[in-house]
């Protein structure tokens, strides 16, 4: 964006300033790109089953020990060793194949 503005501005300035304005726009653009790449490296995308660990889910059918839970609008098979009733909130501990191992929340 800074480079585009500097090029447009260069049309209205006399010769020595045209070059300086365009070089300034290039410098700002390079700084923005460097900052953006560094910021992008810090943020790792979280996808897949491993991203679900630690999230909460709502029990849909009784988990004694097997049942179903809803996570982010999706229905998953779940195993809860201590048991959970429909409507309760559980925390996902791990993912085994396509089954979630969950524990009841202490709330």
Identify whether residues 36 and 55 lie together within a single domain. no
Answer yes or no: do 30 and 56 share one domain: no
Count helices and strands in the chain by DSSP H and E runs: 2, 5
Residues in the chain: 107
Question: Which pLDDT tens digit goes with each residue over 39-60?
Answer: 988 887 777 777 889 999 999 9
Please report which helix (H) or strand (E) contains residue 101, including its range: strand 99-104
List pLDDT tens digits, range 6-34. Answer: 999 899 999 889 999 999 999 999 999 99
What is the total count of domains within the chain?
A: 2
Flag whether the pTM goes above 0.75: no
Containing domain of residue 82, as a range?
Answer: 49-104
- CATH code where residue 67 lies: 2.40.50.140
Q: Do 100 and 81 share a structural domain?
A: yes
41: part of which helix (H) or strand (E)? helix 15-42
* Pairwise CA distance, residues 56 & 89, whole Å: 7
């Amino acid at each position: 964006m800074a480079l585009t503005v500097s090029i447009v501005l260069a049309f209205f300035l006399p010769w020595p300033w045209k070059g300086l304005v365009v070089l300034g726009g290039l410098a700002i653009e390079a700084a923005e790109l460097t900052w953006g790449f560094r910021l992008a490296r810090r943020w790792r995308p979280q996808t897949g089953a491993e991203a679900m660990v630690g999230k909460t889910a709502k029990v849909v059918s009784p988990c004694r020990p097997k049942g179903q839970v809803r996570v982010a609008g999706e229905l998953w098979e779940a195993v809860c060793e201590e048991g959970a009733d429909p409507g309760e909130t559980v925390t996902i501990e791990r993912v085994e194949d396509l089954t979630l191992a969950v524990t009841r929340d202490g709330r």
